């Protein structure tokens, strides 16, 4: 495999590829090693895709987001700093950020439609917002978040999976912004108690 530096990559490391840690692979990816990149994809694509589907609700958009995130990993592998976050967390943060960008773009378009179109469109776009909110909250699979009080879990899900701000969540749940902040704070505290302190989560 020829890398971006014209050097040989993964197959020349002398170690079985599956024994390489993510941090080793990301270094090779930084040198343009496609095999290392493919291996990283194989390790983390299910988690990345699952998160994207959860956030966006449709598989086509999720594919785009995952593709963009992995390409960003490929291009910025050299900027990865071990110790700040695991490679997996770094990648999933990229997936999540891109998912949020996409959700917010869709919302911005909806708002623009609100301004430009008729009353019927306004009603429809409100429905769109509500659907996005419900998608962020809802899931058929029981999760660790469901061990939290329902209102805390809902606020956390809206913030994390939907990228909604405090004030947007307050509007949707029809509670004061301060209440939303409190629910998120307590919910996160509860999650922390369940996963332990840093390093004990996975």
| Chain residues 6-25 in contact with other proteins, contact rule CB under 8 A | 6
User: What's the closest the beta carbon of residue 13 comes to other proteins, in angstroms?
Assistant: 17
Return the exposure string of 155-190: e unless at least 16 CB atoms fall within 10 Å of the residue's CB, then b: bbbbbbbbbbebebbbebbeeeeebbeebbebbbeb
Determine contact, residues 35/64, Cβ cutoff 8 Å. no
- Residues 179 and 45: their CA atoms lie apart, in Å, by 36
From the list 85, 123, 130, 131, which residue makes contact with other proteins (rule: CB under 8 A)?
Answer: 85
Q: Which is nearer to other proteins, 15 or 84 (CB)?
A: 84
Q: Cβ-count burial of 202 within 10 angstroms (0-12 exposed, 13-18 middle, 19+ buried)?
A: exposed
- Draw the binding track, 141-180, toward other proteins (x: CB under 8 A; -: no contact): x-xxx----------xx-xxx-xxxx--------------
Task: Report residue 3 as tokens.
Answer: 């890398």
- Binding segment for other proteins (CB under 8 A), chosen from 17-25, 34-42, 114-122, 125-133, is 34-42
Our finding on whether 80 is near other proteins (CB under 8 A) is no
Say how far apart CA 116 and CA 52 lie, in whole Å. Answer: 30
Q: Which stretch binds other proteins (CB under 8 A): 18-26, 115-123, 124-132, 189-197?
A: 189-197
Site string for other proteins, 45-74 (x = CB under 8 A): xxxxxxx-xx----x--xxx-xxx-xx--x
């Amino acid at each position: 495999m020829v890398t971006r530096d014209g050097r040989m990559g993964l197959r020349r490391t002398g170690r079985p590829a599956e024994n390489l840690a993510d941090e080793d692979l990301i270094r090779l990816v930084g040198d343009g090693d496609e095999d290392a990149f493919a291996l990283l994809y194989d390790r983390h694509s299910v988690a990345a895709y699952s998160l994207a589907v959860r956030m966006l609700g449709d598989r086509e958009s999720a594919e785009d987001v995952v593709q963009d995130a992995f390409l960003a990993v490929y291009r910025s592998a050299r900027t990865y700093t071990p110790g700040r976050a695991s490679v997996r967390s770094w990648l999933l943060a990229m997936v999540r950020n891109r998912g949020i960008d996409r959700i917010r773009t869709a919302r911005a378009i909806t708002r623009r439609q609100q301004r430009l179109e008729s009353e019927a469109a306004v009603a429809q776009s409100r429905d769109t917002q509500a659907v996005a909110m419900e998608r962020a909250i809802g899931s058929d699979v029981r999760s660790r978040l469901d061990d939290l009080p329902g209102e805390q879990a809902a606020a956390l899900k809206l913030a994390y999976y939907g990228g909604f701000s405090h004030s947007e969540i307050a509007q949707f749940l029809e509670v004061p912004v301060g209440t939303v902040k409190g629910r998120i704070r307590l919910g996160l505290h509860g999650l922390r108690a369940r996963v332990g302190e840093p390093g004990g989560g996975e």
